[in-house]
Amino acid sequence: MEKKSEINGHAMPSSASTDRILEKSARRSCREKLLEFLRKNLLVIMTVSGVLVGVGLGMIVRNMDLSKAQMTYFAFPGEMLLRMLKMIILPLVVCSLVSGAASLDTRSLGKLGGIAVTYFLVTTLIASCIGVALAFIIKPGVGAGALNTNSLGLESLSNNKETTDSFLDLARNLFPSNLVAAAFRSHVTDYKMVAVGNDTNGTILYQKVPVGTETDGMNILGLVLFAMVFGVALRKLGDEGEELIRFFNAFNEATMVLVSWIMWYIPFGIMFLVGSKIVEMEDVVLLVTSLGKYIFASILGHIIHGGIVLPLIYFGFTRKNPFSFLSGLITPFTTAFATCSSSATLPSMIKCVEENNGVDKRISRFILPIGATVNMDGAAIFQCIAAVFIAQLNNTELNAGQIFTILVTATASSVGAAGIPAGGIITIAIILEAIGLPTNDLSLMLAVDWIVDRTTTVVNVEGDALGAGILHHINQQEMKKQQEEQQQEGELAEVRVEAVANAQAEEETSPLVTHQTKALGATPEAIESVL
């Protein structure tokens, strides 16, 4: 029998020409699919390639023995990327939070905000527990008692700030006295010695008195709180606030356009960021052999929390595959790995979460800026490991009370890490002060911070993104429930209308009912006569 082939749904006798047509169309469809894939994922492919090329470039340039000035010039394209990303943070955070808070009604805002804060606190507490557990299992500080800052050629670093003042500074930064200054300065407590009198020998007695000062660095915590409250206030104004809400919405959209342009520079900038960091490394072998167990424990903690715990929490809430959600966020993860900054990753994270994963703009632009400020799961892990590491380094046995203090302090201080200058290292100092350990060994953490901070930032932004996905799912479920309730109410209203119409029809067509109804309103004698 003669073979038949199909073209456009019609059976045709098989021939060499029709086979060639089919082969060409199949080839064309494969080519189109490949081009479509490349078009959609071009930025991701370029960003990952930028990291890999940066590593190779760094290795090559490292052997050229560049001077400090030449290293600065080599790092210039990477520095430009960081400057662009930091430039966009202020308008992005303020406008997205104002428009996000104004677009949600107060009830939804309170509910979503409550769920978000609970999610951030619980995940950070779990991260702290993972960090402490790993530190006790791996014991990175045991046998490293001879290790000190001098053996690695590091400068000693100490912190004399009281734990109470650190937390009071967080509260002060929540309410900046000057909003304009909050865009580039934060409040920090310093100390001065004040003479309070003489002792019996005539020696002058001094007391350490806390004094408020300002330090360089955006007070993003205060800006986040103000933007949220301001958005709620605009919503309360009703029609009067609509024009200003539209202004912030337009400002926000324009900022996102700028973000989409900056994202095309990310692959080139990342290449030089990674390359320059490899060139700047001094004696990596000595650092890794000395602090290898600490680095391993920190990165393992990040893998466990980011690869198992957070995806399980997402799956538990949504019953969806968390890794398909995360696969749309490769560009922000690569940016986080290269820049070591949650805030610098925020622009690309908002764009990818909305475009690739379909998260509602109202949810993403409200939750992600808050998450970039207060949700620091990765930081909590390495801070807990660092605290236990320093305790083991000093041959100090930690009791149950101190371990509990580490967990609570790490969770609380990592939430406000953005409000503290010098980031995670100062946060470790708060934990050490809280459990009564010396802060002299902090420079050891600083020596390897550039390695650990990369996986730390990736886990931080992953927690923010999955939190946005969970809130989007919960919001969708609530909307479905409301729609079903409205449909049921509509059906009940239709039934009531029909019942009223039927009753009216009966009244109009039945003289007996009409007569009886009238009679019911009459005297008892009349009722008896009707019956």
Mean pLDDT by 10 residues, the chain (531 residues): 46 58 67 80 86 90 87 91 88 89 81 89 94 92 58 50 77 89 86 80 81 84 89 90 92 89 90 86 69 90 96 94 93 89 88 92 89 87 91 87 89 63 68 81 77 89 95 91 85 67 49 43 42 29
The two structure tokens encoding residue 399: 């009791």
List CB contacts of 51: < 8 A, sequence separation 6 or more: 270, 271, 274, 334, 337, 338
From the CB of residue 99, how many other CB atoms can be counted at a distance below 10 Å?
A: 25
Q: Is the dihedral of CA 426, 428, 434, 435 positive or negative?
A: negative
The two structure tokens encoding residue 7: 């073209």
The two structure tokens encoding residue 402: 């101190």
239-263 and 220-237 are packed helices; what angle lies between their axes, rounded to 10 degrees?
A: 140
pTM higher than 0.85 for the full model?
Answer: no
Give 234-283 as a DSSP string: HHHHTHHHHHHHHHHHHHHHHHHHHHHHHHTTHHHHHHHHHHHHHHH---
| CA atoms of 353 and 461, how far apart (whole Å) | 11
361-374 and 220-237 are packed helices; what angle lies between their axes, rounded to 10 degrees?
A: 150
Task: Give the model's pLDDT for residue 144.
Answer: 60
Look up residue 286 and give its amino acid.
L
The two structure tokens encoding residue 10: 């019609």
In 3D, which of 478, 502, 482 has the Cα closest to residue 490? 482
DSSP state of 65: -
From the CB of residue 484, how many other CB atoms can be counted at a distance below 10 Å?
A: 10
Task: Give the model's pLDDT for residue 499.
Answer: 59
| CA atoms of 334 and 336, how far apart (whole Å) | 5
In 3D, which of 372, 327, 340 has the Cα closest to residue 457? 340
| CA atoms of 324 and 264, how far apart (whole Å) | 24
Residues paired with residue 323 on neighbouring β-strands, in sequence order: none
| CA atoms of 221 and 227, how far apart (whole Å) | 10
The two structure tokens encoding residue 526: 């009349």
The two structure tokens encoding residue 321: 């595959």
| CA atoms of 153 and 199, how far apart (whole Å) | 42
Largest CA distance in the chain: 121
List CB contacts of 163: < 8 A, sequence separation 6 or more: 409, 430, 433, 434
Look up residue 356 and give its amino acid.
N
Q: Does residue 217 come out as left (phi exceeding 0), alpha (psi in the -120 to 50 range) or beta?
A: left
Cα of 116 vs its chain's centroid, Å? 11
Contact 168, 416 (CB under 8 A): no
